[in-house]
Amino acid sequence: MCRLLGYLGKTIELDKLLYKPEHSLVVQSYQPREMREAILNADGFGVGWYHQQKETLPYIYKNILPIWSDINLPQISRYVESGCVLSYVRSATPGLSVDLSNCQPFSSDRLLFIHNGFIHKFRTTLYRPIRSSLNDYTYQLIQGTTDSEHIFALIINELQTSAIDNLETALANALSKLTQLAKSSKVYFLANVIISNGKQLVASRYSNRPPSPTLYYLQNDLTYPEGLIIASEPLFDGNWKSCPEKSIISVGEDLEVHISPVS
């Protein structure tokens, strides 16, 4: 299990998301409040962001150290500014190695992806079925061994093979495919994800065996005007709204929130 954070809106410095809130992602790494499957997120972290004036690929900084131990991130986060940011702190699923190839965010072209959850006994259950469902292009994109990266691959595969041009549908179809595979193998999974192309955030709060992990969103807070945050846990006291279970939450440049059920 991990802690997730996505931001879209007015350009801000990274440290205003990662460090300054009273229950920031750094604090959540060693003192999470709503994480049921672990007590720490000490197995690495990552942050990805987009340059708002240039149509470049996203930038990524990651480390296998706990986020509180990285001496470079405080300096980087005071310098880097962005209007679209994804970040996470990791609690590695037992049996999945702690190395950079397994560290999120995962990326493909302009897409960034982070995941909180797991597939139960992934290596002996859905590892091969997921891979067998992928086209050659998507199969070759997988660099690590995590269930998270394989869920990302399912989304990319939908974009590649189903003539789908929007992230909401691709994510919904990928979750449906994962649910079918899990039913056949009689396995359960948790799939809270956030995916972005730099201009929107699309997230899910989903599992095939409730309850799903927590996920919240916050719009136009006084501290973050013209911005929206999606997070595993509230970063500070405010008008945070809980995302419904089995739902997809999408936010575009107008910062309007759209929620749709996942059947």
Peptide bond into 94 cis (omega under 30): no
For the stretch 208-261, pLDDT in tens is 998 999 999 999 899 999 999 999 999 999 999 999 999 999 999 999 999 999
Q: Quick one: residue 186, left, alpha or beta (phi over 0 = left, psi -120 to 50 = alpha)?
A: left
Which H or E run contains 225?
Answer: strand 224-231
The separation between CA 115 and the C-alpha centre of its own chain, rounded to angstroms, equals: 4
> Is pLDDT at 69 greater than 90 in this prediction?
yes
Q: How many CB atoms lie within 10 A of CB 203?
A: 26
For the stretch 190-205, pLDDT in tens is 999 999 999 999 999 9
For the stretch 21-54, pLDDT in tens is 999 999 999 999 999 878 899 999 999 999 977 7
Confidence of residue 108 (pLDDT cuts 50, 70, 90): very high
Instruction: Please give the positions annotated as active site.
Output: 2
Cβ pair 181, 133 in contact under 8 A: yes
Architecture of the CATH domain 2-261: 4-Layer Sandwich (3.60)
Distance CA 38, CA 1 (A): 7
